[in-house]
Structure 1
């Protein structure tokens, strides 16, 4: 069985690597027989060339499936990770990014519940407006994908409204989104970071969310996120298993 090679962005903030390690522990708890390793694009060790390639643990395409710890197909997914893996010469298969997925919506629900919101109550949801606070990207397709997540979250949960805000790139910012929620008639407001681990951008979102009634934590080591990583891994494995049958 190939290993699951989690590829994370990395950060100078030690909370980032600690959160990734906690997520890896959750993945292992859900599938104990699976080998799970982590490589980083930047800032943290080990980097991809340390694990993948002639001198690394994963020297052949069959050794592992790379699963990006990324929510959208933006620059890192389209360019950085493919380039780094091509440079290893292994042909390691790469899974799709995590978003969109119902499991991410469930993880967002979990974090709002942890912040004190009664997400199980339809009446509470109908009175609550939520800011989906993402990193933001210079790639219009990535931001459009985040807006689709927000629309699906509102449709399936019945929130009073869901507004998207960005911590970087172009606006709207969190205060703008909170004002839009109140203008739409939301009686209560919540901010849900659509981010994977603590760091500069989540801190920026938290500081900007002072006017909200409650602020959720980042997705972190949510069990739904671990299940989603395994789902992406399994999809690549199933696709690889069908190739010999189709060729025959």
Structure 2
């Protein structure tokens, strides 16, 4: 029996660095599970689109697909866009079963990746001292999604015994620059910003720009195609594959 195909589904961006990162992460998933058919797809703004990938899988004989949304925040895309395209795919292909898993999300395990990225940024900026941290994320009109970022920021701060503020690149305050300036008004001069974004693009670039303008000593790169994220994708896939098994 052929295992369900795995589709990593990202939102998409006009920035080619974003698509390259998603492809690299998908390649890492493929490396960890060479027995699976693993494909990357995008909701919009980048190719290949989700339906094109599903069409290709169906043509290759797959009748079961597990979709892992490469989204860090719950919100409109996770709750509306992804279920919509999943249903459209099943409507277009009679007999096809597609299971959407939980989003990638903000797992505490990702804090280790975040720390690695921040250490790289601190080394590059020759910074040896920190007295505050900012966790920058995309932001959402859904307050529950923003609260998840704030919770992760508290966990991260407790790990490092430093004050941490959550900041957002869009849809919710504070912006990264505002968070950095707030710490500096308290007399904290060595404020670093960690980028809780999956891939490079306009929002992480803007968040970094605002933070540096406000006096941040360093801003990390996004999480990228780290093996920890790939393992989480496979954990989501495993649950989705089980849910496809008839009971």
Give your verdict on TM over 0.5. yes
* Cα offset, 1:184, TM superposition: 5.4
Show the counterpart of 1:103.
Answer: 109
SS in 1 for 2:8: strand
* Cα offset, 1:218, TM superposition: 0.6
Show the counterpart of 1:19.
Answer: 21
Given that 1:16 and 1:199 are in contact with CA atoms closer than 8 Å, whether structure 2 keeps it comes out as: yes
SS in 1 for 2:191: strand
* Cα offset, 1:213, TM superposition: 1.1
Moved more, 199-208 or 170-179: 170-179
Counting only pairs closer than 5 Å after superposition, residues 135-174 of structure 1 correspond to structure 2 as 135-155=138-158, 157-174=159-176
TM-score, length-scaled by structure 2: 0.86
- Judged with a 3 Å threshold, the aligned counterparts in structure 2 of structure 1 residues 58 and 111 are, in CA distance, closer, same or farther, namely farther
* Cα offset, 1:234, TM superposition: 1.6
2:136 to 116, 133, 141: 133
After TM superposition, the runs of 4+ consecutive aligned structure 1 residues lying more than 4 A away are 59-62, 183-187
CA RMSD of aligned residues (A): 2.3
* Cα offset, 1:185, TM superposition: 6.0
> For the residues of structure 1 that align with 2:114 and 2:105, how far apart are their CA atoms?
12
Q: Which runs of 5+ in 1 are unaligned?
A: 118-122
TM-score, length-scaled by structure 1: 0.86
Show the counterpart of 2:221.
Answer: 217
Show the counterpart of 1:188.
Answer: 190
State whether structure 2 residue 71 is matched by structure 1 residue 73: no
Given that 2:108 and 2:152 are in contact with CA atoms closer than 8 Å, whether structure 1 keeps it comes out as: no
* Cα offset, 1:186, TM superposition: 4.3
> For the residues of structure 2 that align with 1:173 and 1:102, how far apart are their CA atoms?
23
Given that 1:103 and 1:228 are in contact with CA atoms closer than 8 Å, whether structure 2 keeps it comes out as: no
* Cα offset, 1:225, TM superposition: 1.2
Given that 2:65 and 2:97 are in contact with CA atoms closer than 8 Å, whether structure 1 keeps it comes out as: no
